[in-house]
Chains A and B, each alone.
Chain A
Amino acid sequence: GAVVSQHPSWVICKSGTSVKIECRSLDFQATTMFWYRQFPKQSLMLMATSNEGSKATYEQGVEKDKFLINHASLTLSTLTVTSAHPEDSSFYICSARDQRENSPLHFGNGTRLTVT
């Protein structure tokens, strides 16, 4: 079945550094991918919609300069957390829709980011 690969699965970084998370659709093409964030004991919150070849669309309250999204191909979207701070520590999940009609969303396994 369709698979979305997310890498890394966990990462620890120091405050002030940047971290890149990759989201790949392995056996389908996705013109649109989505990035979610989940704090402990809270819901998944949609952060942004990543569109291949164009700028991402960010949800209200999400800083686009803080969370840089690049969707350079039909199978890869990246989320870069710039100048990370401890409050950015969270679980980040991507999802992608097969561009064929009526396909469900496919989710990655998520990335646990810890900023020290």
Chain B
Amino acid sequence: GNSVTQMEGPVTLSEEAFLTINCTYTATGYPSLFWYVQYPGEGLQLLLKATKADDKGSNKGFEATYRKETTSFHLEKGSVQVSDSAVYFCALGRFGNEKLTFGTGTRLTIIP
């Protein structure tokens, strides 16, 4: 079956540091891959997605590349801000199909 393994948190970084949150997956077929973010007191929001191998999803300075050869979808940002503090979830599924498989979430805290 499908599964997502996500870097355990919590992760604490200083402002302007480089961020990587690792995500690897196991799936049959060719799933779409997603990163969701949950800011304090809010619901999950789609941050970015990639629907096929070698696609790069990007949004708000975050990027992730769909790597089929390593079954990975690592989230990166070159310079984090305090406002990026949130919980980040990696997920896989079929775009348009709500049966998403989520990772455990990684809590990120950015300190000034």
Contacts and interface: CB of A to CB of B under 8 A. Distances in A.
A42 interface: yes
B11 interface: no
Nearest 5 pairs of A and B residues by beta carbon: A107-B43, A107-B44, A44-B102, A43-B102, A109-B43
A43 B44 contact: no
Majority-rule SS of A interface residues: strand
Interface of A: 4, 6, 32, 34, 36, 41-46, 49, 93, 95, 97, 102, 104-110
Given A107-B36, A107-B38, 16 more contacts: A6-B43, A36-B102, A43-B101, A43-B102, A46-B98, A49-B98, A93-B44, A95-B44, A97-B98, A104-B46, A105-B46, A105-B98, A106-B43, A107-B44, A107-B45, A108-B43
Contacts of A45: 102
A36 B43 CA distance: 12
Interface residues of B, number: 19
A49 B97 CA distance: 11
Contacts of B105: 43
A45 B2 CA distance: 12
B90 to A, nearest CB: 10
Contacts of B4: 43
